[in-house]
Amino acid sequence: MITKIKGTQDILPAESRRWQDLEDVIFQVSRLYGFREIRTPIFEASELFHRSVGDTSDIVKKETYDFADRGDRMVTLRPEGTASVVRSVIENKLYAEPSLPLKMYYVGPMFRYERPQKGRQRQFHQFGAEAMGSYSPQVDAEMIAYATTLLAALRLPKVRVKINSLGDTPSKALYRDQLMAYLQPRIDGLCEDCRARFLDNPLRVLDCKVDKESPILAEAPKPLDFLTPEAKAHFEAVLGHLRGMGLEVQIDKSLVRGLDYYTHTVFELEADLPTLGAQATIGGGGRYNDLVETLGGPSFPAVGFAFGMERLLLALESLGEAEKPEPIHAFLIALGEGARTKASELLLRLRHGGLICDTDFMDRPLKGQFKQAERLGARFCLILGDDELAKGVINVKDTETGVQETVEWAQLYPYLVQKIREHAHHCGGECADCSEDC
């Protein structure tokens, strides 16, 4: 038997409804903020991620899926979404659009070779968003608001926002020198990864998950203390916009994020929920003013964030709500070959009218067909036998009330729609039997 590759998962039909519901919320919230979807290839030239994410990052050094294709081109399965979006912006000259900033979001699979664990797979899915073309600190705050609005729409409790500033390029250069001077005599007290990062990218030492409680890191100099006046003014303006929107944030001086391209604002969103385990982070992002230029484009500032979809779904499990069944309006029970032929015609009409319908394809007896209708949660059972076929009618049984009526074929669709609307009026439209399309 051939089985799935380690670190991947099948999203089975019983689970896909949860994914669709999450994607619907993402779509609706993104529309509120004026973001449109962009779809980029799943694999790109390896150079794209090595130059953007950084050769010294854990993602590139340990986790990317790199391979040579049949044309001996080095290709990488995308480990994150921002670099692909930036490549697309440059290649398609979207930076010349008159309506700036560019506001785009994406949803799709990403790939990292890491140890699989709950909520973290080697093929995982991300929702991310990028606002590109503006230096304004208001955009930083807007993106944080966008991210928190999504979590509010999902009704996730106990969410907090942590924020920091890495500063501009001069700020980062000054801080790097101070950090290296501090770590030099102390580096042997940190883990092996930190010792390697110290030489390649000392800022990443602050992001260490192994030594995060170490007094060495707790007492290390922090980026926020080395900001240039311009960078400090930018960060204070971001905080001012957040206060103006009534959004509470915690300044975390040790927050640096795991990607090399960030400048100025970085932020993470956390939730203390039992289904997330020890790792509370569910999303994060920041500003990256230099990335477009680094990849061959013009000077074009940007802010972005990303959420792991699997992590969001794990967080939603903490709500403890039973999953609603798929809303099925009607199940047609056809008795006899002639009835089955007519059933196909009637089902097509109902479906074209927006009703969710099904029928038996397994030659079940009458009792078995009623049982199948019950399993599918059908609101109505439509019964068509030889007598009904001869008279041009069908029996409609309301499974909720037990009432059964005989309806002419031509009146079947308006009859069902009226009953569904009456039910929606009484239940407030919140029942799983109700559909927005009816």
Q: What is the reported pLDDT for 436?
A: 44
Summarize pLDDT for 244-290 with one digit per residue, the tens: 999 999 999 988 876 678 899 999 999 988 888 777 889 999 999 99
Which long-range CB contacts under 8 A does 6-15 form with residues at least 24 apart?
A: 6/116, 6/122, 7/113, 7/114, 7/116, 7/121, 7/122, 7/123, 8/121, 8/122, 8/123, 9/121, 9/123
In whole numbers, what is the pLDDT of the chain averaged over residues? 90
Q: What is the reported pLDDT for 432?
A: 47
Answer whether 306's CB lies under 8 Å from 109's CB: no
More confident site: 61 or 160: 160
Summarize pLDDT for 75-98 with one digit per residue, the tens: 999 999 999 999 999 999 999 999
CA distance 424 to 353: 17
CA distance 328 to 432: 9
Report the predicted TM-score, pTM, of the whole model to 2 decimal places. 0.87
Q: Per DSSP, what are the bridge partners of residue 104?
A: 36, 130
* Residue at token pair 């509470």: 248
Q: What is the reported pLDDT for 437?
A: 46
Q: Is the pLDDT at 184 greater than 80, yes or no?
A: yes
Q: Is the pLDDT at 55 greater than 90, yes or no?
A: no
Q: What is the reported pLDDT for 224?
A: 92
Interval 289-306 mean pLDDT? 95
Could you write out the DSSP letters of every residue in 172-223?
Answer: HHHHHHHHHHHHTTTGGGS-HHHHHHHHH-GGGGGG-SSSTT-HHHHTS--G
Domain 328-427, CATH number (from 3.30.70.100, 3.40.50.1820, 1.10.287.3510, 3.40.50.800): 3.40.50.800
Interval 409-418 mean pLDDT? 97
Q: What is the reported pLDDT for 58?
A: 59
Domain-wise residue ranges, the chain: 13-168+228-317, 328-427
Please state, for a pLDDT cut of 90, what percent of the chain lies above it: 71
> What is the dotted CATH code of the domain comprising 13-168+228-317?
3.30.930.10
CA distance 120 to 304: 21
Interval 314-322 mean pLDDT? 82
Dihedral pair phi/psi, residue 330, rounded to 5° = -150, 145
Give the model's confidence band at 321: pLDDT under 50 very low, under 70 low, under 90 confident, else very high: low
